[in-house]
Structure 1
Amino acid sequence: MKKILIALLLLISTNVVNHVYAQVRSDLRQRIGEIRKNNIDSQSPLSELRLDESQKQRLRSINSMFDVLISGLRKEVKRMKLEIELEKLNDKVDVEKINKLFDRIAQTQASIWKETFKKEQEIKSMLNERQLIMHEKIINRSFRNAKKANPINKR
């Protein structure tokens, strides 16, 4: 009987020790992952690219022109969406007007995508080969992070 109790006690204590050890390893792995993530996030993409002064200036001008153009287009899309909502509130809904607004929104959204593509091409044209590789890594990393943050892919 004593041997059975000792064997049970050893079995239970072994399981407890294994569980505690696994928990400690899991916590350690999680902390290391967080540290790595913080190190990657703390570096700015510009510093990772190691741009020279002329490249930084060109990038600023590309981004500022893009921001001005896109902000106007986004405001236009918002305005058209509000027009649609306003039209829906009317007693007699003008379906033709709503359809035209949807078409204009689609055209404006396509313009935004085209300008985004154009901006990316301009940025890529000013980078050297090493910087292009880093740029692609940064884009892929930000895409993965965005996907993790919002698993439902919305446009």
Structure 2
Amino acid sequence: MKPSTRGTLAAVITGVAATVGAAATPAAAVGTVPVPVPLDGVEKSLNVDLPKVGGELPLPTPGAPEEPRHVEGRFIPEHVVPQLPLNGGLPGAGLRAPLPHVLGRGFDHVGLDAPAAGLRALAPGIAADAPLTAPNPDRLGLPDPKLPQAGVLGPALRTAPVANLGLAPGR
């Protein structure tokens, strides 16, 4: 291959890699997707002040489960069937509605802002242990029998949603 062909090929590959990297970065950085509700056409056609409504939908991202780990005295490692983490969020909403001076001249609209809240979840998992103990040196390395153990690790949810309700002047 000629040096000029190699240089051209390297420039094309570099340009494609930069374009793909630039396109992937904003999508990966966004945690929510805005969802506007377009009411402008109805507002203009009916000549009425309508509420401004919008929302946010979170993008769930799966996490990496904990790897099985050996615990002294147990025959089977802990977390053989691990709990799978999932990070996402609760949907958000925004509402701003006109208010016809019910509370006086300083209050022209009522607003509700409930941003998307983070949500961490863990799927159910299984904890189990075999009906044998670890090798016993007193019995020439043979394990002792014991009752088997099994349990279900319950799912877990963790979030802290917030909302703001207010009255204010202006449109």
TM-score by length of 2: 0.29
Structure number with larger C-alpha Rg? 2
TM-score (norm 1): 0.31
Where is the strand percentage greater, Structure 1 or Structure 2? Answer: 2
Structure with the larger helix share: 1
